[in-house]
Amino acid sequence: MATTEATLYSIEDGAAWITLNRPENRNALSSALVSELYDHLGEANADPLVRCVVITGAEPAFCSGADLKSPPGASIEGRRSVPYPDVLTRIMDSAKPVIAAVNGPAFAGGLGLVGASDIAVAVEDAKFSFSEVRIGVIPAVISVVCIPKLGTHHAMKLFLTGERFSGAQAVEMGFVHRAVPKENLKAAVQEEIDMINRGGPNAVVECKKLVRQVPTWSREEGFEKTAVWSGRMFRSEEAAEGMAAFREKRDASWIQE
């Protein structure tokens, strides 16, 4: 496990685990933490042994939002600082699926990590809040990744009031996929990792691109481009192996037990 001032990085069962590691201030998004998170995401994407990425927090919280004493993008002595939108973009553009393992309270800017992730699993009684309005600001940057999941109906009420909602309520609103008891979080995330690992590595990468790109196209453009895309995938070596494994009732070569 590699340890840095603000994050932890380790690889387990083909998943890169990035842990926000500032428990003394509930994993607030300092300039150093954001820059390290950005670098670890790049490291995970460059590692051929990594199939997916998990972002979680050191107890007792997931992320309390921006560190007001050293906000994301502030200068860091001896290294480059990274603007927070760049981290959210790197999560969304990551070739490897990114899972948010929300282990505790997630407020304000911390919810951007959840909104940008591909899969989100939360502790059922974790507290969430778009709390920016309570200090006279707005959830501006994170709205780009959170509104598409919440929809304007839920986003309007939550942004205007700053009210708290639970992990279970976040599932009902479509903001996270699963909510589980705290003691089951690691196992639930592992289930998601295992399911991803059963898919063809290239197919998983292409599926993420598909979901991100198709909504940006017109219907006609979508049918035209996806027909070409589908044909290319069916002609791939990975597809040949996957279909052969299906016929022969065996695991595909990429599945590691």
Q: Which residues are catalytic?
A: 132
- Which residues neighbour 93 within 8 Å (Cβ) at sequence distance 6 or greater? none
DSSP 3-state of 168: helix
Instruction: Compute the distance between CA of residue 26 and CA of residue 59 in angstroms, rounded to an integer.
Output: 8
CA-to-CA distance for 78 and 69, rounded, in angstroms?
18
Locate tokens 């009210």: which residue?
163
Residue where the block lists tokens 């196992």:
187
- On the CB side of 1, CA atoms within 13 Å amount to 11
Distance CA 10, CA 82 (A): 22
Phi, psi of 226 (to 5 degrees): -75, -30
- Burial (0-12, 13-18, 19+ Cβ within 10 Å), 179: buried
Q: State how far the Cα of 180 lies from the Cα of 172, in Å rounded to an integer.
A: 13
Contact yes or no for 9/1 (Cβ under 8 A): yes
